[in-house]
Amino acid sequence: MGPPLLLSAVDLGWAALLSPEIASRMQFGWTISVHIIFASLSIGLAPFIVYFTWRDVRTNEQRYARLRSFWVKVFAAGFVMGTVTGIPMSFQFGTNFPQFAEVAGELIGGPLAFEAKMAFFLEAVFLGVLLYGRDRVGDRTYVLSSVLVGLGAWLSGFWILIVNAWMQTPRGYEMVTRNGMEVAKLTDPVAAFLTPRMPWMYLHMMNASVISVALLVAGVSAYIVWKRPETDAWNSALRLAVVLLLVSAPFQAVHGDAYGRHVEDTQPQKFAAMEAHYETGQADLHLLAFPKSTDALTDPRAENLFTVSLPAVGSYLASGGDFGAEVVGLNEYEENPPVALVFWSFRFMVGLGFLFIGLALWGGYLVYRGRLSDSTRYLKAMIAASPLGYAALLTGWYVTEIGRQPWVIQGELKTSEAVSSTLTGAEATLTLGGFVVVYVGLVLTALYILKWLVREELRSLGVRESNESRWHGPIPWVSGDD
């Protein structure tokens, strides 16, 4: 590559990097990716904390007090990190996407205010009772506090997803001219809050959070059981996580299939991107897909993929029972979402979903045979799988958000029109770099806290190496040298 060509490539790359729209989208995508991990941690941990608290109060057994204390601390760390990572996102509406805030402010302002003033404070106030009130309040008040903390976490998700669901399938509004600008005026709050997407998205997201945390709880429990097999507390936690996974993982597959039909009905362009379906007509279902070349990674069309497909089953699923149903292809649209990101994210999410079902069935069989804590192979598998729930959750979120492009409000406002006209590429890129550095620091801090809590738990169980005070084996998601 000669100097002129090299300079041209650098110029093109620099110009793309400094695009206000690209940098703003990357910035918001990065911040919400980190935030969603902590938000879903609170949502998924809520049922565990309610159960451990209730069992602690009812039985007065030490194992439940131990589990409650441990996971409430994890919940508190996730709550703090979720708050810290979530606050900047509301400011990004003003700094990076002011046109979106102007157009949709009347629709999204209410739910966001409810989330902050109802769900957040409910969670914050009673989390304090859970952390410090075991010996200061009565048993009923203490159990009620755990329920209210969990309710706050699930309500927070409810109000946030009302906003996002409206952006996917907007209802209950009309476009009016205000100060020379077309804005959405709220006309029917019930229709705007309970859009066709809302129940699908809420159930799918809540269950995905439960699966992610069930895998995390199972992974931490498996690690401690591996080190101290006779511990009653962590054997109980492992069994509970496996049972919850047995219920939630298959349900996600069944619900996801029906959710896919709803997406085809309401956002056919996104559905076509999920299957890289370009030509309008009968659609196959690609169970497995592998790229034939590196080009196929960025442009996944049927002819450049090795696939294991079910002929016409894509049409069957999209229509709810008609193998000959016509599915609109991507070639029918002027602009398409980044198909490769949507297509591979969808495959990754579905593949992990079937892996979780397999792990759940394997664990269920071991529970039935009374050999759950005796299977070193299963304990290692669950330790390795502990972060994969979040990988599936994030890729599913990418399918939802990237698949909606080029629209930020489906059919009303494009993302390119929502970006600030006064924001320069340099400003957007500089702040993107800042958010990457700060949020990486926050994630590392959270992982360190989890590692410290596990170490303290092992220390309290008397597990330690005999020399140099080093711990047995690795904590895989943190480092390999402990």
**Residue-wise DSSP of 28-54:** HHHHHHHHHHHHHHHHHHHHHHHHHHH
Kindly report, residue by residue over 118-136, the tens digit of the pLDDT: 888 899 999 999 999 998 9
Contact 77, 156 (CB under 8 A): no
pLDDT tens sequence for the chain (482 residues): 445 544 455 555 555 566 889 999 999 999 999 999 999 999 999 999 999 999 999 999 999 999 999 999 999 999 999 999 988 888 888 889 999 999 999 999 999 988 888 888 899 999 999 999 998 999 999 999 999 999 999 999 999 999 999 999 999 999 999 888 899 999 999 999 999 999 999 999 999 999 999 999 999 999 999 999 989 999 999 999 999 999 999 999 999 988 988 999 999 999 999 989 999 988 888 888 888 888 888 888 877 888 888 888 888 877 777 888 888 999 999 899 999 999 999 999 999 999 999 999 999 999 999 999 899 999 999 999 999 999 999 999 999 999 999 999 999 999 999 999 888 888 899 999 999 999 999 999 999 999 999 999 999 988 865 544 444 444 444 433 33
Compute the distance between CA of residue 28 and CA of residue 37 in angstroms, rounded to an integer: 14
3-state secondary structure of 83: helix
The DSSP H or E segment spanning 255 is helix 232-266
- Long-range pairs of 90-98 with CB within 8 A, sequence gap ≥ 24: 92/24, 92/27, 92/28, 92/31, 95/420, 95/423, 95/431, 96/20, 96/24, 96/27, 96/28, 96/419, 96/420, 96/423, 96/428, 97/24, 97/28, 97/408, 97/418, 97/419, 97/420, 98/420
Compute the distance between CA of residue 346 and CA of residue 433 in angstroms, rounded to an integer: 28
pLDDT at residue 309 in the model: 83
Question: Which residue type, as a one-letter code, is found at position 237?
Answer: A
pLDDT at residue 471 in the model: 45
Contact 330, 274 (CB under 8 A): no
pLDDT at residue 425 in the model: 86
Alpha-carbon distance values, 283 to 286, 312, 314, 338 (Å)? 9, 5, 5, 20
pLDDT at residue 312 in the model: 85
pLDDT at residue 295 in the model: 82
